[in-house]
Each structure stands twice: as C-alpha cells, then as structure tokens.
Amino acid sequence: MGTRISRAPASHRPARLLTGVYALATLVALLLTLLARRRPHPFLAEGIFGLLNVPVAPTFVSVVVLALATRALLGRKRIGLWFVAVFQVLGIYVGFVALVPAARLPRTEMWVSRGDLGRGLDIVSTLVAALALWWLWRIRDEFTGRLQRGSWGLALAALAVGSAVTLGVAWLLLGAVGAPRSQVDPLVDTVLAVFGGMSRRALALVPPWVVDVVAVCAGLTILAAVTLFLASARPRSRWSPDREVALRGLLAHHGAEDSLGYFATRRDKASVFSADGRAAVTYRVVAGVSLASADPIGHPDSWQPAIEAWRAEAREFGWVPAVVGASERGARAYAATGGMRVLLLGDEAILDPRRFDLRRTSLSPVRHAVARATRAGLEVRVRRQRELRADELAEITERAEAWRSGETDRGFSMALGRGGDLADGDVLHVTAHAAEASLVGVLSLVPWGRSGVSLDVMRRSPDAPNGVTELMVSELLARSRRLGLARVSLNFCMFRTVFEDAERLGSGSLTRVGASVLGLFDRIWQLERLYRANEKYEPTWQPRFLCYDDAVSLPQVVLAVGAAEGFVRHPSLRSVPTELDPVHLAQAASISAPPVDVEALGPRRSDQFRYRVAALDRMREAGVDAYPVGAASVTTTPVAALGPDAWRTPRTLSVVGRVREVRDHGGVAFATLVDGEARLQVLFDAARVGRPCLDRLTSFVDVGDLVRVEGTTGRSRTGTPSLLAEAWRMEAKCLHPVPFRAFDDPGTRARRRSTDLLVHPRDVELLRRRSAVVGSIRRTLGDAGFLEVETPMLHTTHGGASARPFRTFINAYGIDLSLRIAPELHLKRLLVAGLGPVFELGRNFRNEGADATHNPEFTSLEVYQPHADYTTMRHLTERLVREAARTVHGREAIPLPLTGSGGSDGSDGVELVDISGEWPVVSVLDAVSDAVGRRVTVETDFDVLLGLAEDHGIAVRPEMGAGAVIEELYAELVEPVTVLPTFYTDFPVETSPLTRPHRSAPGLAERWDLVVAGMEVGTAYSELTDPVDQRARLTEQSLKAAAGDPEAMEVDEDFLHALELGMPPSGGLGIGVDRLVMLLTHSSIRSVLTFPFVRPVTTRRADRETSPAWS
C-alpha cells in the first residue's frame, strides 16, 4: 500500500491540477476514439473540455497530441506550458470565428462548436482562454524543464516523410471512394477534419472512415518524430569510465550499505553525484522516466544533496523521477528529500549462512534436492572471477547466455547486465559440473561490501539433474566461512506478501483474488514460482520499495519499471559501452577498502588526556618504562598497615599507591599517596633522591598515577609523618584524571566502575563483605555434607523458573540456545543419578530491566537435599543466613530500617536486629486475608478475588487464574510491608509448576518464600517428583508459551526422562546471593555487584573527564 511520507508544497498544486486535467482529457479522448459512435453533433465531453480549450476529439491525432502535452506537463517541461498556451490561443481564434459571418471565412464550420449551446460556447471559451493565459503566466516558474538536446534533423526528416505519406494515403483513399482527386477541397477538408476532430461527423465528399485512417497516419507521424528526437538525445551525466571508477571508489567505502549497490556500475546507467562527491544516484531514462535503482551510493550524510541533484536534473530535462528497489532506509531518504510517495514493491531474500543447516526438518525439501544432485555425481566449484582462466570464464558466459533460450534478460535493479568483464574480478561464480567436468549450472554473485554477495545470474542447463540449483546454493552457504561471507542476497520477489497472505487462515477474499490474478501471469513472469523457489531456503525478507512523485505519473512509472526490468519489451536505439579501457581498469583494480581510522573509532579525547599521553611519550623518550613488569622479590608494605608505631623508629620500606596530589616546592616535593582509604605523605628531597630523580617526578607524575616509592619512615619539618623517599618508580601511568574531589553522578559511577571504586573505597569494602558471605555459604554447606557442582549455562530449552530468557544462536550446530534462568532441572537430574545433597553457586540470566532489586544477570544459590522437604530447607536457610550475618557483623544480626532507631551500627535509619531466635512462619492465605480484611482461600469465588484486586488497585491480566490473583495480592499487599525475617508458606499450585502439591491442603503447594525488609530473599519447595504430574504441568506451561507468554517454561524432555527414572523425595532451596548481601550490608544492588549492568552509550561523545566533576 502506498504511503505518502511528506506532502508536496502548496505551490506545486496548480501544476498538478493542470497536469491532472490534461491526463483526464487524454483518457476521455482515447475512450471516444475507441468506443464512440458517429453522430452529427459533438459529445458532451467535447463540449466540457472545449469550454476549457482542451482539444478533446474522437480522433487518434487528438489522443496523441494530448498524450504528448500531458507527458510534457508531467515532466514540468516549459514546452508543455507552450502546448497549453497554443490551445488557448486557438480557443480565442475559434471564438473570433464564431463572431465573423460565415461568408467571410471559408470552412468556418470546421472550427465552430455545433453542440446544444451553439456559438455561445465558443464565445465563452474566449474569456476562459484569456484567464487561462494569465494563469499560465503566473505558474510558469513551475515548468522549468527543457528539452534534452536531440537530433532535430532526424525529427524533421521523420515529420516530412510521415506528412508526405499521410497526404499520399489521403489522396489514394479519396480516389478510392470516388472523390475527385483533381480538386484540392476534398483533401483540405480531410486534413482539417483530422486536426479538427470531425471524424465522427459527415463531410460532403469524404466518408468518416477515411478521416480515421488519415488521422492514424498523422498521429503515427507525430509519434515517430518525437521518438526519434528523444532517442537520439544523450544525457550529460551518462556513463563514462571516470564515473564508473568514481562509483567503485564509493562502493569500496560504503558498499556494505545496500545489497544492490554493485549494480550501480551497470553501463547503461547515468549518474549524478553530490557536490562533495561522496554520494551518487544512478539512473536510466526509460519512457521519459528518470528511473533510479536501489539506494544512493556513498556516504549516507551526502545522500540528500545527491538526491536533490538528481531531481534537479530530472526537472531540467522534464523527466519524471522514480526509484525502483529502494530499501526502507533509502525510501525514507527519497521521501524526506523530494516528498516522494512510497509503495511496497516486493521483498528481497537474504540468507544468513550461520543459520542455514540442512539437518533441520524445515529444510527437508532442499536436503532431498541436494541429495538427488549429489547422487547424480555433480561437483560444485566456488571461485572468484579473477581466479578463473580465460577459457573457463568464456565458457561460463557463453553457457549462461545459451541457457537463456532467447528470453528477455530481466533485471535492472538486481542485474549487472554484463558477463566476463575484466573489471569484475570480485564477482563470485558457483558452477556445477557433471561427468567429465561439463558445466550444467551457474550462479554469479556480485560483491556486497566485504562480507556479502548478491545474486546476479542463476542459470542451469535444460539437461541438468534435478536439484542442481539447490546444490549450488547449499555449497555456497557451506563454504561461506572460508569465503568470508556473512550474508547472501538471492532473488527479489515482487508482490511476495500477496502470496504469503493468501496462504494464511482467514485471509480476505481480495487477497486470495489478487494472488489468483498474479498466478495467471506466472507462466509469463514467474512471480509465484520465484517466490516458492526462494522461500524453501527460509530467508529473511527485506522489503524493497517503489518511489514516485504523484499518482498521475504512476502509470508511466509502472511502464518504465516494466520495461527496465524486462517484463515489457521496450526498443532502445542507444548502444551500451562494452568495457573499461586499460587505464581505467588499472584504476579500478587499485581501489581497495579504506584504511581503518582507529583514532576516529575511539572516543573524543579531552585536553587532559592528550596532555598525559604527551607525558607518556616524554617518559618513553627518556627511557622510562611507564608500565614495567612486576617483581616477585620486592616486598611491598600496604599503606593501611602503617600504624603509629611505624613513625617512632625509622625503618626502610617500599609502598605502592595512587598519587592524590603533588606539591612542588623547588628542591623539595610532597606527594600524597592513597591506597583504599589509607593515605601517606611522601617527601622527595633533592639532597636525598638526587635532582634528576626529583625532576622526573615533577615532569612525569600526574594525579592518579600508580607509583612505587622506596624510603625511610620519618617526619617532615612540620612534624607530619612522612615517608622520606630515596627512589621511586612508575608502576602504571594513568591517562585519565581521577576525580577524587567529586564523582557522585550514579550513572557515571556505574559506567566508570573502576574509577568509582578508586574514589569511593568504602564500596570496595562492600565487595569484600560479599566475598565473605559467599565463602560463608560454601563453608556452611560443605560442613553439612553438600557437594558443590556446576551445570551448563547454555540451555536448548528454557526452564527451571518462569521468566523471559536471553536467546542466542550457536553457529556450529545452527540451533537457538538460551542462557539459563535457573539450574534447577539439571540439579534434579543429578539427584536422580545419586549424587546426594548438592548445591550450585552461579550466575543466572533473566531478560528484564535493572532496578533497585534486579539485575539482568545475578548470582543465586540452589540447594537440593534428597529425602527432605520444604521444612528441612527452612531450617537450613535460617542457618545459612545466620552464619552469613555472623561473618559480616560478628553476631547473628542484620541491619533493618526500624522506626525510631538510632542506628546502633552507626548507620542512620537502621538498627542491627538480632535474628537468633525462631523466625515467624505464616500461611500465604492467612497473610492475604489479614491484608484485605476478609478470609481468602483458593476456593474463594473468582469474581470476589477480582473485586479485591480492583479495590486495591492491582492489575490483573486476562490469563490469570484464582491462584495467580492470590499471589498478586500477596506480592502487592504483604511482601512490601514485611520487615522482620518471615517465611510465607503454602502457595497456590497454579503459580508453582515445579512444586509438590500440599500433602493435606488441596489446591496449595509445599512452597515458602523468605521475605525480609520488604524483599524476597529466598524460596524453597518440597520438590515434585511425580513424572506424570510434572509432564502435565510443563505441557500446560508450553501451551502458554505457544500462546505468546514469553515467561512460560518449555517442555524439557531430557529432564522428564530423568524424572521418569525415579527421583527421591527432595527439598529444594534457592537464595538470591545479591539480595542476601544487600540485606546484610543495607546497600543497593549496584553497590554489591562488581560491575552492575548499565545501558551502553550508543553514540560517540566526549569523555566525562571534560565535565566539572573531573576538575
């Protein structure tokens, strides 16, 4: 369906109105000529258009003249305006004739309207003509197109010969009907009737059919003269060797932008470049249409001026601008620049070699065809054209031409139009050979950037075995890695969506009728067969568009596209250049891909960065290694270990720290080193270290540099404890200034995590506490006899929890994979195998956003114990959390935000709360009942549950059942208000697909959630071990997934097979380690992760070091 992306300016509307009137007049004249019967008076349409002085008449000459005028107006040619002006002047003349007595002017009846309005119509048309001439003068600036330079001699000769033939035919016919040839009047009457539209009205001596025949001859004469004039014209931007070399240079830099880019080098195309030469539009003039193909070539930033230059040239010569085969990006550029309309034309089939695997069931038709061709003994060779011998290349070209069997070589936007050219060394030829190396099939593909190819020629011998094409395509894709190919463009399929939509269940009648109509033309144009031939490879379909100016020009544009693509035969008198000369061939061969500008790919650097790089260069020139190798023999004393005793007695030591500041006092310099939260002042005295050493310090060292200093503990003159330096060495030069004074923006801190930890060393302590918590968990479980195991991160089916997975693709096997949501199913398979109590501490992934308590990747603990239940796991959880709290705080306590707390741990708003006693255990139904103020059970009427949810402003999705609504009430009303550690038990079965049903409460499952400080920290189940029940639940989940639920689990047959072997009754536990550390340290999730997820910066921008925070 056409889409107008931008409206034309209002100033263009008069020109479009005038063009539309003449287009309508041409259609009316054609219908009158073909269908109207003879009558003594003019038709009503003749009278209406006669009032406007538009020469509509039932003669072939009228149709030709109006068509030429309409064509000129479409192209905004000035001559079209002259046509209209002449018609208006003739209208004034006819009005004048109507006022003059008939006796004064002979044959005035030829020029006077004979309709019901009589002479009055001719008089009124005089006034219309005067107004029209004034209006034409006002809009003349809209018609700036001029005639292209053609051969006036050819046109005049055709006109003279045609006129002579026309008069001769008229003279012969007059004699044949008995009119006296010796008299001139019948001949003059015939000619005037031809140009005056009298063929449907009787003349004295001339039958109407004679006038019709003469009118056809006259019309053909006019068409022949115009055609010869235009055919002999040559656009100034036509192909030349220099232009082709320039286009190849643009393709070398930007050829990967469009799969059809290389076809711009066709030698029947002209080209218009942008003023800066960085982009070009290639086109061909067909039937008066400047038909561009595909997207502009070159840098996208220069597309707009290239399009404007192309449209300006089209306006200058009166061509109708149109584009065939534009991509979505290109179509938007054409529409935005010229206000063109966009129409979906079809789709291009793109194959990804990494995803093509003949072992897939969906590719069975291709696999069977390949097997047939292989059994026939075919061999496939894949070579670049430059690798072929001259005789091999000649054979490929000749056979491909012979196998065409005389059919029109179709293609303009996706065809190169030449074979075996020396300039096309990178063209890829895939050939199939039968016995004795005889050629039976050819694929020729042109370059698409550096890692793709686009189909040009696909031919096979009529005697070739079935499956030869499938074999060549499959072998090309199979060898893509060796060839460096990442994408292959096959055929372009027009109206593909029509065929695809017609196959869908419930497709509309119009869609099916459209597909049937296109099917009727399949024998001629192979539209549907081409779609079927490409669809079996399971390509990705990329839409291609037709762009045109206005609806009036669309028929002409469609004709031009049909002629260019080979669907309509269109004669051409122009010769196509054959090949480049040796000089330009050498220039084309020397074009290579542009060198990578590494500096341009990196971020913009600040002045401070460049200053530090200059200091680095000076160090290297002086022979100082800014990044030396480490030395195990050197003993380093941590700065934090230097207590008060270190300054009482001088001792020699070596320290490493980052420079916080340097103060140069001439012969003495002071540097402050920081290591975490510890600081140390270092005194550099020229008398002790030597002047050269001091100069190197002040010249090379900047804030943030990591340095090693060897010296003796002592004090400065003011008594400040200082390390009296004796030598120093650069450990690592810092190229970015470290903003010790101000670095507080949360986004920048998360993105520059290393800098954040340097500036805020307290966060380093949080990470150390995290490590201690993880160690405590491992130690506690190890002491209890649990075995730590590792299970796969990559899953072929996602399961273990209800969440949206991350998906990826493995090239080696051609299958989709997902990053694990939870290791649960693999750990249960280990229980079946008899490994006993097991646990895993590892990373899980869920495709969701990051917030205060979530991160797309997170660390979790999963524990499974045979012959246990969820009560056993509850006691284990209490022990794990208490031991972790003891590790962090020295006692069984956690910081909780309690009202009125003074913060006994020194943290504002929180209090270390003792957790050594029994933790509350509350049923979910009891907790929800207390929250809503009425008793809620799984048997509660569903409408009542919906009403409770609505009363509390809780959204309910259509797929939710009663259990899901109850859990949503719990999540919104109970969990956020829970502060002390509490176990909420016995959840509805509906929301617990992997949990055993409750042993005594139908409709519930043996599951609990541990909630502390409004946050879920862990969950545990009495595991479901019944394989029949488990299969039914997973099948229900898979049905939800098939219905579009992205979080529903899939059926894991490997897990179910293991479960069917018999799994012992077990308890399972899951704890979010990140959340546990957050709870124990009273911190945000970003603070307890080494590198929290941050949305990447998608555009290049200056480093943040240029902001005030870096000063």
What pLDDT, on the 0 to 100 scale, is given for residue 771?
94
**Predicted model pTM:** 0.61
20 pLDDT more than 70: yes
What pLDDT sits at residue 103?
46
Q: Which residue has the higher pLDDT, 933 or 289?
A: 933
Q: Which pairs from 530-537 meet CB under 8 Å and 24+ separation? A: 530/491, 530/493, 531/493, 531/496, 531/499, 531/500, 533/469, 533/491, 534/349, 534/490, 534/491, 534/493, 535/349, 536/363, 536/365, 536/366, 537/349, 537/351, 537/356, 537/363, 537/366, 537/473, 537/490
CA distances in angstroms from 158 to 165, 190, 222, 462, 631, listed in the order given: 10, 21, 8, 45, 96
User: How far, in Å, CA of 791 to CA of 793, rounded?
Assistant: 7
Whether 957 shows a pLDDT value over 60: the answer reads yes
H or E element at residue 1011 = strand 1004-1012
Residue 402: how many other CB atoms lie within 10 Å? 12
Closest CA to 877 of 888, 889, 867, 863: 863
Per-residue pLDDT band for 864 (boundaries 50, 70, 90) equals very high
How would you label 1084-1104 residue by residue, b for 16+ Cβ within 10 Å and e otherwise? ebbbbbeebbbeeeeeeeebb
Q: What does the pLDDT read at residue 1111? A: 27
pLDDT class of 429 with cuts at 50, 70, 90: very high
Q: Residue 95: exposed, middle, or buried by beta-carbon count in 10 A (0-12, 13-18, 19+)?
A: buried
pLDDT one-digit tens code per residue, 304-320 = 999 999 988 887 776 78
With beta carbons less than 8 A apart as the criterion, state whether 111 and 97 touch: yes
Residue with tokens 């998360």: 750
Per-residue pLDDT tens for 129-149? 778 778 777 776 676 655 555
Angle at 895 between CA 894 and CA 896, to 5 degrees: 110
pLDDT value at residue 232 = 45
**pLDDT attached to residue 491:** 80
Residue 198 has a pLDDT of 47
What is the reported pLDDT for 1019? Answer: 94
Return the beta strands (E) in 470-509 as ranges.
Answer: 487-494
Identify the residue whose tokens are 């804030």: 703
Cα 970 from Cα 985, distance rounded (Å): 11
Closest C-alpha to 72, from 305, 229, 214:
229
Q: How many CA atoms lie within 13 A of 1103 on its CB side?
A: 19
Report the distance separating Cα 891 and Cα 221, nearest Å.
Answer: 108
Phi, psi of 993, deg, nearest 5: -70, -15
* Pair of tokens at residue 792: 């796969």
Structure tokens at 908: 């504002």
> The tokens 């300054």 sit on which residue?
647
Give the list of residues 6+ apart from residue 258 with CB closer than 8 angstroms, or none: 294, 295, 297, 327, 330
Highest mean pLDDT among 606-620, 710-724, 866-880: 866-880
> In terms of DSSP bridges, do strands 678-685 and 439-447 run parallel, antiparallel, or are they unpaired?
unpaired
The model's confidence at residue 354, banded by pLDDT at 50, 70 and 90, is confident
Q: What is the pLDDT of residues 283-298, one digit of tens each?
A: 988 877 888 988 999 9
Q: What is the pLDDT of residues 990-1017, one digit of tens each?
A: 888 778 889 989 899 999 999 999 999 9
Q: Are strands 379-384 and 540-548 parallel, antiparallel or unpaired?
A: unpaired
Angstrom distance (rounded) from CA 960 to CA 956: 7
Question: What does the pLDDT read at residue 4?
Answer: 40
For residues 963 and 228, which has the higher predicted lDDT (pLDDT)? 963
What is the spatial distance between Cα 1023 and Cα 868, in angstroms, rounded to a whole number?
A: 9
At 116, the pLDDT band (50, 70, 90 cuts) reads very low
Domain edges within the chain: 3-231, 241-302+315-335+574-587, 348-543, 607-628+635-738, 765-920+980-1088
Residue whose C-alpha is closest to residue 1103's, from 631, 752, 624, 837: 752
Q: Torsion angle, CA of 979/985/991/996, rounded to 10 degrees?
A: 150
CA 618 to chain centre: 46
Quickly name the fold that domain 607-628+635-738 has.
OB fold (Dihydrolipoamide Acetyltransferase, E2P) (2.40.50)
Which range is least confidently modeled, 88-102, 335-349, 736-750? 88-102
The residue with greater pLDDT, 892 or 597, is: 892
**% of the chain with per-residue pLDDT over 90:** 23
| DSSP category for residue 1023 | B
pLDDT tens-digit readout, 366-400: 889 999 999 888 999 999 988 888 888 888 888 88
What are the structure tokens assigned to 704, written together?
């943030």
Q: What is residue 971's predicted lDDT score, i.e. its pLDDT?
A: 92
Question: What is the per-residue pLDDT for 884?
Answer: 95
| Predicted local distance difference test score (pLDDT) of residue 600 | 62
What distance in Å separates the CA atoms of residue 882 and residue 872, rounded to the nearest whole number? Answer: 16
pLDDT per residue as tens digits for the range 761-813: 888 889 999 999 999 999 999 999 999 999 999 988 877 777 788 888 877 77
Output the pLDDT for position 985. 95
The tokens for 260 are 């059809």
Distance CA 720, CA 670 (A): 11
**Selection from 1012, 960, 1005, 961 nearest residue 985 by Cα:** 1005
- Higher pLDDT among residues 207 and 694, named by residue: 694
pLDDT of the residue at 39: 54
CB 437 within 8 A of CB 470: no
Side chain identity, residue 281 = V
Structure letter (DSSP) for residue 127: H
With H, G, I as helix, E, B as strand and everything else as coil, classify residue 310.
Answer: helix
The confidence score (pLDDT) of residue 95 equals: 67
Which of 971 and 593 is assigned the larger pLDDT? 971
**Res. 657: pLDDT tops 50:** yes
Compute how many other C-beta atoms are within 10 angstroms of the C-beta atom of residue 740.
Answer: 17
Write the CA distances from 993 to 844, 965, 1034, 1085, integer angstroms. Answer: 19, 16, 7, 29
Residue-averaged pLDDT of the chain: 79
More confident residue, 1091 or 593: 1091
Neighbours of 137 (CB within 10 A): 10
Looking at the chain, the whole-number percentage of residues with pLDDT higher than 70 is 74
CATH of domain 765-920+980-1088: 3.30.930.10
Q: Is the dihedral of CA 248, 250, 254, 260 positive or negative?
A: negative
Residue pair 863/839 in contact by the 8 Å Cβ criterion = yes
| Per-residue pLDDT tens over the stretch 373-382 | 998 889 999 9
Separation between Cα atoms, residue 345 and residue 324, nearest integer Å: 8
Other Cβ atoms closer than 10 A to 495: 17
The confidence score (pLDDT) of residue 983 equals 96
Look at 695 and 810; give whichever has higher pLDDT: 695
* Residue-level pLDDT at 747: 79
Give tens-digit pLDDT for 866-924.
999 999 999 999 999 999 999 999 999 999 886 544 444 444 568 899 999 889 999 99
Q: What distance in Å separates the CA atoms of residue 449 and residue 953, rounded to the nearest whole number?
A: 55
Question: What's the CA gap between 585 and 508, in Å, rounded?
Answer: 55
> What pLDDT is stored for residue 877 in this prediction?
96
- Type of residue numbered 856: P
Per-residue pLDDT tens for 39-70?
556 666 666 776 676 777 777 666 777 777 77
Residues 36 and 63: beta-carbon distance below 8 Å? no
Average pLDDT over residues 630-659: 83
CB 426 within 8 A of CB 386: yes
Give the whole-angstrom CA distance, residue 474 versus residue 392.
22
Other beta carbons within 10 angstroms of residue 598's beta carbon come to 7
Whole-number Å distance between alpha carbons of 25 and 57? 9
Rounded CA Rg of the chain: 43
Quick one: fold of 348-543? Aminopeptidase (3.40.630)
- Residue 359, C-beta contacts closer than 8 angstroms, at least 6 positions apart: 367, 814
Residue 921 has what pLDDT?
96
Is the CB of residue 285 less than 8 Å from the CB of residue 557? no
Strand partners for 1008:
985, 1020
Q: Hey, is 78 helix, strand or coil?
A: helix
Mean pLDDT in residue range 231-243 = 68
